């Protein structure tokens, strides 16, 4: 049974699809594609069906040479059953995810993405949507750090 990860931000067009695609890239390089599955979602319905933000895609292509794939979808109750670990990009996303649960039985499955960073000290992945290119580049750097730590964590859980 593969280990299933869900990355969650507000609109599912910047941070969470970047995390999903970076994680898939690292999983593939580590030879774990058959054992770890990734998806992403947003706590809002703003961008359902949209592709990743073009500015985020440009940052991922420039910094890592990877293409961002995916279509935005909204986080829903069933995700608690379907995923082993749900990774919130910031504290507001974390609270929104837990409010969907309406029970505390899933609290152990929800973590903040930056908990897995080893090089960065930020506690949340900032939303780059209303900023310039530097914000998108910072998000990529932060997510690479967090995804590397997360991959080590998941492998150690197996």
Per-residue buried b or exposed e for 98-134, using 16+ beta carbons within 10 Å of the residue's own CB: beebeeeebeebbbbbbebbeebeeebbebbbeeeee
Element (H, E) at 112: strand 110-112
CA atoms of 45 and 150, how far apart (whole Å): 27
**Catalytic residue annotation:** 9, 15, 127
Residue with tokens 């964590």: 153
């Amino acid at each position: 049974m593969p280990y299933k990860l869900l990355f969650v931000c507000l609109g599912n067009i910047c941070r969470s699809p970047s995390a999903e695609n970076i994680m898939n890239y690292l999983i593939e390089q580590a030879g774990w594609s058959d054992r770890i599955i990734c998806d992403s979602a947003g706590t809002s319905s703003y961008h359902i069906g949209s592709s990743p933000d073009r500015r985020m895609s440009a940052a991922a292509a420039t910094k890592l040479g990877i293409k961002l794939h995916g279509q935005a979808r909204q986080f829903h109750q069933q995700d608690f059953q379907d995923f082993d670990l749900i990774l919130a990009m910031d504290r507001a996303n974390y609270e929104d995810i837990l409010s969907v649960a309406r029970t505390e039985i899933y609290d152990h499955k929800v973590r903040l993405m930056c908990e897995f960073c080893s090089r960065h000290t930020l506690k949340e992945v900032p939303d780059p949507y209303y900023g310039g290119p530097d914000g998108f580049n910072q998000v990529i750097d932060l997510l690479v750090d967090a995804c590397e730590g997360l991959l080590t964590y998941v492998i150690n859980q197996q």
